[in-house]
Structure 1
């Protein structure tokens, strides 16, 4: 990479921050810039490993003064699109994580993963609203709305945020909440990283003494029966149940449970906050269906919540996309199985349909109005590994499946599910028309030079 920032300017940046400042020629650059998605190249001209909010403020102010665009990364899970050039601010070192059991709140720095929150909160009978894996960073996930494992019961993670520490593109540090800069506070919750670099969040925790959850894996040959049964069963579930169903083509890798290796299976995910007897009763119609390959559903500590979705625990190269879905009727199932059923050579590793609704459909008092998807019944996500021999076929397969769903699939999505395929660089589809207009107006006010332009930035 040919440097585009003069060395003297990089040296100036190094004098203004306490953390490491690295260019592509420096040891540690690759480690500092690595994303969870190994197929997404993150190649900034310079990266700052911020050690605190003061470093973030200094780095942003430097970037503004030198007109250098800025990207932000903590765990790298949000890196859907490539970054070429500019300044990357790594917030991975911001590891503050405190829990107040009496107030039922947590305060976390921008580098904290959900696993750390649960380790601190579960002993007090409290949980935060993490997504399908606790390996994801709290802040980036929540700024995108945050679709939790228990979303139908408790709503979006962004609905529970109490305050945010943010560095706006002028380098100014602010603490915003419902009474201090309320419009900025509202737009941060669901606006992702468009209006500033969030260095810490405070959010509410929920009392929960474990749950009844896990997964059931069915043979792929039973795909039609399982999808049809799941569609009809899930339509009448109470808000105590959150569920999804996934078509999985699993490789023969050590990270895959042995009975599932090199197989095409369907994976029912189940999370219920009701008592065990009620949870068992509600699941019974699906549990007695087909002849499962594996059944891991039972009473669990919330510390073990990753066992419900079993997301890959290591970085992988992949291409993906997500859309809101209008229904899962017979026509939807026919179209999906024609493209990705057991008799096809579909190259996708993962096609998931999540049931929405319940508490996700409501904006609670003081909740995150910008978060989309509240009126959608389902979300579909598609993922394919970007590796030989089928990696080159993945984007076309994703687009083909979405096209085959026709009017059943929406053009809209959620910002955390925009992905990298199917025109997802157009981020406007991640918000309502009104929400996008609000973001554009705020962007013009807070970031008129479009300093924060990487990943899913709003644009007119």
Structure 2
């Protein structure tokens, strides 16, 4: 180890500083030359490498407090890594706190609440809540971390249209703020920080534990129906006409996918261009089958995987990739999904488009996603009816080529796009400056967040994110 370890923030760490940090925490403290540094910094998106000056693998909230205090004392900005929906930069010149060792979960079936520590993933919560016939507002990918997902809103493909965003279900957060203090944050104790944390992502501190409400939902009727890509126009037309006929207990989306030729996929899907209709219905199987009849009739299915399932099988709706992959992505929300919008989407992504994106999906929102929760929060996408997310697979040396194709498709939908967006879907390439972040949140919400930032993080310690500088 060299005598000085410089970083882009301008601070310098001496060997004795790092030794003191190691003595003050239970978890590992790693430098770029340390064994285990690469594994601790590993990300799901292989194109987004993390290169912090120092990493603290927090073993508990006391470690988080020590890490934040150390960082502020030495002029280091702080980044947090759990499992997705949190990091948007390489964290160069900063201190990275990883939370995977903080894995505590407790379920209170009487009060229908769950407490989860910072490193917990939905895949770990689902079997625990299933023991009591309860269900959380988990997302489409169970391997995503609970905290990062919830701080950005959290859009469930099963419970969202009936109960709202995952953020709407939160009752308490334990958070370490930039001053190194541990705070118990509820709507009653600190309403402004509670409001800012839930929607403001990682701008306001390190959440070490979260408590949220769960619901008595033991099963659902759903999964996916795959159609050949040549039927895209017919499927979109049928789906558009069908959406106004179903209630809030039905959630759906469509993925336009060019799938890889890999053994994990069933034969009809390997290397295929497909339209993936995703269904999550909370009513009975018989009612679900009747509701789906018009969609099934719109085109012949390659594969129909819709069936009755336990709630813990929520990941079978989208069937998102589990293993780390290299990709670039972009997103937007739509004000409307008209016939003209659907025609543009076919032109941009259909069989004759030349599109090479692995997936372009459109998710129908509405219902409780539009309603203000009992305890208000700063979720930016409330009231927007559709979300679009696209990603392209490829090695980092193809990133510019892939970004260009993403831009072609997403910019082609610009006539129907809203200024505001779903914060969890923002890629590192989006909302890169203060004006962009302001547009995503809307002016009134952004100004309130900036005021909260000034109160709780005036030095902008937590800035490795879609940053909201203190006003």
Question: Please, what TM-score do these two structures have when normalized by structure 2?
Answer: 0.94
Please tell me whether residue 430 in structure 1 is matched to residue 440 in structure 2: yes
Taking the aligned partners of 1:71 and 1:364, their CA distance within structure 2 comes to 29
Aligned equivalent of 2:100: 92
* TM-fit CA distance, 1:100: 0.8
Q: Quick check: 212-221 or 450-459, which moved more? A: 450-459
Partner of 1:118: 126
Aligned twin of 2:222:
213
Q: 1: CA distance between counterparts of 2:422 and 2:396?
A: 29
**Among 360, 367, 370, the residue aligned to 1:358:** 367
The answer for the alignment partner of 1:55 in structure 2 is: 63
1:248 and 2:250 aligned: no
Alignment of 1:24-35 (within 5 A): 24-35=32-43
Find the partner of 1:373 among 356, 377, 381.
381
What are the superposed Cα offsets for residues 120-156 of structure 1, whole Å, 9 maximum, x if unpaired?
0112110101111110000110011111112112210
User: Where does 1:128-167 land on structure 2 (aligned, <5 Å)?
Assistant: 128-150=136-158, 151-167=160-176
Give the aligned partner of residue 272 of structure 2.
263
List runs of 5+ in structure 1 lacking aligned partners. none
For these two proteins, the number of residue pairs brought into alignment is 459
Are 2:186 and 2:194, in contact at CA under 8 Å, matched by a contact in 1? Answer: yes
Structure 1 residue 415: Cα displacement = 1.2
Superposed CA offset, 1:258-296 (max 9, x none): 321101100000001112222111111112221111100
1:335 is paired with a residue whose SS is helix
**Cα 1:423–1:176 shift into 2, 3 Å:** closer
CA displacement at 1:390 relative to structure 2:
6.0
Q: Does 1:419 align with 2:427?
A: yes
* Match status 1:448 vs 2:450: no
Mapped contact 2:52–2:90 kept (Cα < 8 A)? no
Partners of 1:389 and 1:195 in 2: how far apart? 34
1:7 Cα deviation after fit: 2.4
CA distance in 1, matches of 2:267, 2:312: 23
Confirm or deny that 1:231 pairs with 2:233.
no
How far apart are the structure 2 equivalents of 1:376 and 1:267? 22
Q: Deviations over 1:317-354 (max 9, x none)?
A: 11111111122222212222222211232121010000
Change (3 A) 1:391 1:63: closer
2:5 alignment counterpart: 3
Asked whether the equivalents of residues 398 and 421 of structure 1 are also in contact (C-alpha less than 8 Å), the reply is: no
The answer to whether the 8 Å contact 1:347/1:390 transfers is no
Q: Which runs of 4+ in 1 moved over 4 A?
A: 388-391, 422-425
Q: Indicate how the Cα distance of structure 1 residues 391 and 251 shifts in structure 2: closer, same or farther if over 3 A, else same.
A: farther
Residue 389 of structure 1 deviates from its aligned partner by 9.2
Note the 1:167-316 alignment, pairs <5 A.
Answer: 167-316=176-325
1:393-442 Cα offsets, whole Å, 9 max, x none, are 22112222222123211232121011133545533333122111111011
> Contact between 1:418 and 1:427, CA under 8 Å: does it hold in 2?
no
Verify the 8 A CA contact 2:357 2:392 in the aligned structure 1: yes
Name the SS of the counterpart of 1:244 in structure 2: strand
For structure 2, the residue ranges without an aligned partner over 5 or more in a row are: 7-12
Distance 1:411 1:112, change over 3 A: same
Cα pair 1:34 1:76 within 8 Å, conserved: no
Counterpart residue number, 2:9: none
Which residue of 334, 340, 352 corresponds with 1:343? 352
In structure 2, the residue matched to 1:333 is 342
SS at match of 2:5: coil
- Match of residue 30, structure 2, among 18, 22, 36: 22
Could you tell me whether the CA contact under 8 Å between 2:84 and 2:148 is conserved in 1? no
Tell me, yes or no, if the aligned pair for 2:224 and 2:276 is still in contact at 8 Å.
Answer: yes
Q: Over aligned residue pairs, what C-alpha RMSD do you find?
A: 1.7
Secondary structure of 2:283's counterpart equals coil
Instruction: Name the CA shift for 1:343/1:389 in 2 (closer, same or farther; >3 Å).
Output: farther
Contact 2:68 / 2:180 at 8 angstroms: preserved in 1? yes
Question: Quick check: 2:85–2:424 contact (8 Å CA) kept in 1?
Answer: no
